[in-house]
Structure 1
Amino acid sequence: MVERLSLEVAGADAVAEALNHAYPMGFVLDDVEARSTFTLRRAQAGPLLMDEAQASARFRFDGGRMDRVMIGMVRRGSVDASTNGLTGRFGPGQCYLPGEPGHHFTGAVTDTCVQVTSLEPALVADTVGHDTDQPLRFHRLRPAAADGDESWRHAVDYALTLLAGDTCPPLLADATARHLAATALTLFPNTYLTASRGLSGPGAVGAASLRRALDFMDDHAHLPVTVGEIAAAAGTTPRAVQYAVRRHTGLTPLGYVRRVRLERAHAELLAADPESGVLVRDVAARWGFAKPGTFSTYYRQVYGRHPSTDLHT
């Protein structure tokens, strides 16, 4: 189910209250014009949370301590941001980080409309196989690549299409949130990726632990699964289970889960009655494959034929 929240307020006190309701991190506003208004439209399915926030006039803010990974994309107006020694001003079409997780952040907005993506730090860490006690630090507030804004816009626009309806399959919501997390980590230089490049293997994982990890992934493929949960089931660390599963299967843990889900989708297509109205895209979505085209390509790589062929067999 897609949950929604709508706020529309006017006046300095009401704007501050609404911001703290939407983002309970201790917002304090300054230099707020009397005509200021704030509007929020939120859609959320599981870990996938997207906001459209609009603020008229201009005001400065002290946002408190950032408790999540947030990425903004300016639709209109301008935004100033400052956090942990990083500063910037951002305009229409630009994506940016308003703050660093665990750090104080301040800024200002001027007649602004911003698309805000919020991700839980644990999900971001799990997406790349990091332990949650490893701090995430960003080196800049803007993407490093010249096409970073376009890449982020495509990822956000797709997520918004999923949230446009009344329902979004749990696996699809989880996969899309992880795609956004991976995209953000790829676009914005950070300590997670630089640390990963310099890591060597974490040591051996026993056969029994590996078997527990594989069994857990097989048994829970129909649910959103994290690397942390897989590691806990195996009785080892996320980093260790990443290496062990890759050595044994040639896939990351989440890549292995993706392969199991493909196998389940394959079996469902073979068993389906083609006259019942079953659609390939619905089966793909049920098993966490967000884009039908990507699912079809992956399916053909593994099975050598289009999924619709098996549906009509």
Structure 2
Amino acid sequence: QVMHSDPSGDLAAGNFGYITGIKGTAANSHGHNVIALGAEFKETLITNLPGGIRQSFHDGYIVNASNLTCAGLNGCHGYRYASGSPTDVVALKGAHHNNVDGQLAVADTAANSYRFLVGVRGYENQTDKWQNASATSHNEYYGATTPMTLGCGATSCHGSNGVSPPNHTISGFCGTCHGNFHTLSAGASDGIGPDITSPFIRHPNDIVLPASKEYQNYTTYSVQAPIGRTAVPASASSVVTPGADVVTCLSCHMAHASPYPDMLRWDYSQMNAHQSGDVNTGCFTCHTTKDN
């Protein structure tokens, strides 16, 4: 379930219960505050999208705290901002009956896209359904070696299926709303910076995990900090290959909600550089030499 109090664990995308308090401590900062949760959980401190798209005809015109839904016009799943796009779950019509799972390398309908996120490619775990259970049993996220650049030309997010990521990655999908967090600099959007070379303005994604320095030590898949693949695999792999595999939004964040602020996969307040011991968890899964 996407919202529950079961102490045994959560699905891969997290648990909306961390927002409402039926699990953990209630906090709006723990996840996406979809309006189905009720008026008492409506976000009030941030009324518009964090990292929203800075581009003509986008500021203030898209999703906000008053209209965020699970699916449809102002949601994530199903057809978004398509011609006559319905609101919420109606936008998923036909997707469940025509569902394709496992390796999803086409992603041109809701039914054959990763988790009904139109346009997103990936692999859906067939061993432990809907879960990231272990290094050998998990979803596989599709990524790229260079983030998108915002624009309404060749990289436009608008097409016959409504809004979807032109690069088909999970990070590109997040960028269709949180564009200034996830893209290269363009116009008013500073994104991660002008290129894929450090230093960055913001933590990059859709970028290769370097095969040098501290990053080369991340070689066994961690479900706490999952990486992405540049080709959609047919099964889950426990091997991480620095220099080939990539960082995604979901390497650090949950999709629905988590027990921690900013939807992070771990408690950032406990990520104390050179004071945590050799733990290789959280931020230190990739930044392997900064923990001790």
When normalised by structure 2's length, the TM-score is 0.28
Asked which structure has the greater CA Rg, the reply is 1
Choose between structure 1 and 2: higher helix proportion: 1
Choose between structure 1 and 2: higher strand proportion: 1
Q: Which of 1 and 2 has higher RCO (CA within 8 Å, sep 6+)?
A: 2
When normalised by structure 1's length, the TM-score is 0.27
